[in-house]
């Protein structure tokens, strides 16, 4: 079966080759790729290996401008602008969790340099592309359909907790992609006979007060909408849910243990 690493590499490589192939390999030309990533991952190494197999060799006909932001999303606008100054041929946003804010920062920096992302949360709702069929502009990539996944996870939560009646939904309302996901989750809740209470965070300082409010409301469970902000505070959310003995669900594949 295709694993996550192979899928991400293949998806990125396929879209990355398009802007390079558009010019065709010119004798003596050195192509410049700008890569914005959170931290180093093995997937990046696989991508460079695949490019070498296609004849793009760093130090010969390829220059890689690699920049890590290490979870500091406030640096993304700066890095996007830096890629423009470096006059890269293409910008690759290679980060799974922070893809949407990183791609938006790159898009804000340039309307002409091609921008590629492996996956993004609802790229249409977040404003990255015009539509999935015809993205338009200079941005393209793959989509994570959390709008479909979040209602399904709520349904699974209902199956695990049959008496589920009231659910606290913790989500980043500052992320435009989450608006459609919240609406889809609310529709699913009505069909399941579950009442949702929205608990919005827009930055790191909001979590403490939201935890206090959720504890006061005493819901039957917590449902987390996944994005970069909630991922950063996933351990705190897991600790809180454990302390209050609340079942919790999220799109993230692995919840951290409270002892982590």
Residues 56 and 135 in one domain: yes
**180-201 residue pLDDT tens:** 889 999 999 999 999 999 999 9
Say if 193 falls within a structural domain.
yes
Question: Do both 16 and 120 map to the same domain?
Answer: yes
Looking at the DSSP bridge assignments, the partners of residue 248 are 222
Shared domain for 9 and 75, answered yes or no, is: yes
Residue 181 within any structural domain of the chain: yes
% of the chain at pLDDT higher than 70 = 84
Residues 133 and 50 in one domain: yes
Q: How far apart are CA 141 and CA 132, in angstroms?
A: 9
Cα 20 to Cα 188: distance, rounded to the nearest angstrom: 43
The count of structural domains within the chain is 2
Establish if 259 belongs to a structural domain.
Answer: no
Instruction: For residue 260, tell me if it sits in a domain.
Output: no
Predicted TM-score of the model (pTM)? 0.63
| 103, 128 contact by CB (below 8 A) | yes
In a domain, residue 70? The reply is: yes
Do residues 135 and 152 share a domain? no
- The whole-angstrom separation of Cα 211 and Cα 149 is 24
**3-state DSSP assignment of residue 194:** coil
Residue 257 counted as domain residue? no
Indicate the pairing of strand 62-68 with strand 195-201.
unpaired
- How far is Cα of residue 147 from the mean position of the Cα atoms in its chain? 13
Distances from the Cα of 2 to the Cαs of 10, 87, 174, in angstroms?
10, 35, 34
CATH of the domain at 105: 3.40.50.2300
Which ranges of 110-176 would DSSP assign to H, the alpha helix? 146-160
Q: Are residues 155 and 116 in the same domain?
A: no
On whether residue 79 sits in a domain, the answer given is yes
Of 144, 167, 196, the one marking the end of a domain is 144
- Please check whether residue 258 lies inside any domain of the structure: no
140/150 same-domain check: no
Could you tell me the pLDDT band of residue 242, with boundaries at 50, 70 and 90? very high
Same domain, 134 and 27: yes
Model pLDDT, residue 253 = 56
Range of the domain at 53: 4-144
Residues 130 and 160 in one domain: no
DSSP-derived 3-state class of residue 222: strand
Q: Do residues 166 and 104 both lie within one domain?
A: no
Q: Which of 124, 61, 69, 78 is nearest to 97 (CA)?
A: 69
Listed residues 129, 144, 159: the one ending a domain: 144
- The residue among 179, 169, 182 whose CA lies nearest residue 222 is 169
**Between 104 and 257, where is the model more confident?**
104
Contact 92, 12 (CB under 8 A): yes
Out of 144, 165, 186, pick the residue that ends a domain. Answer: 144
Q: Which pLDDT score, from 0 to 100, does residue 26 have?
A: 59
Q: What is the pLDDT of residues 32-74, one digit of tens each?
A: 999 999 888 777 888 888 888 888 889 999 999 999 998 888 9
Judge if 63 and 180 occupy the same domain: no
- Looking at the fold, whether 12 and 124 belong to one and the same domain comes out as yes
Q: 24 versus 83: which is more confidently predicted? A: 83
Sole residue written with tokens 């469970």: 221
**Confidence at 226, pLDDT banded by 50, 70, 90:** confident
């Amino acid at each position: 079966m295709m694993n996550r690493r192979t899928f991400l590499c293949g998806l990125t490589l396929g879209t990355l080759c398009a802007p390079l192939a558009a010019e065709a390999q010119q004798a003596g030309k050195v192509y410049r790729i700008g890569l914005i990533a959170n931290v180093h991952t093995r997937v990046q190494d696989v991508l460079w290996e695949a490019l070498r197999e296609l004849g793009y060799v760093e130090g010969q006909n390829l220059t890689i401008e690699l920049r890590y932001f290490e979870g500091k999303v406030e640096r993304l606008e700066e890095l996007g602008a830096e890629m423009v100054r470096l006059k890269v041929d293409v910008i690759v946003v290679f980060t799974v969790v922070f893809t949407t804010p990183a791609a938006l920062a790159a898009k804000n920096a340039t309307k002409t340099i091609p921008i590629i992302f492996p996956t993004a949360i609802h790229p249409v709702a977040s404003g990255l592309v015009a539509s999935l069929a015809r993205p338009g502009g200079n941005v393209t990539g793959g989509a994570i359909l959390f709008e479909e996944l979040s209602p399904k996870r709520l349904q699974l939560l209902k199956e695990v907790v049959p008496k589920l009646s009231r659910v606290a939904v913790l989500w980043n309302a500052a992320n435009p992609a989450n608006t459609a996901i919240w609406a889809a989750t609310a529709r699913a809740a009505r069909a399941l006979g579950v009442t949702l209470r929205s608990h919005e965070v827009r930055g790191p300082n909001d979590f403490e007060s939201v935890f206090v409010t959720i504890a006061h409301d005493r819901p039957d469970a917590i449902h987390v909408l996944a994005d970069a902000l909630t991922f950063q505070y996933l351990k705190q959310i897991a600790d809180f849910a454990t302390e209050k003995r609340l079942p919790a669900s999220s799109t993230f594949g692995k919840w951290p243990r409270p002892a982590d």
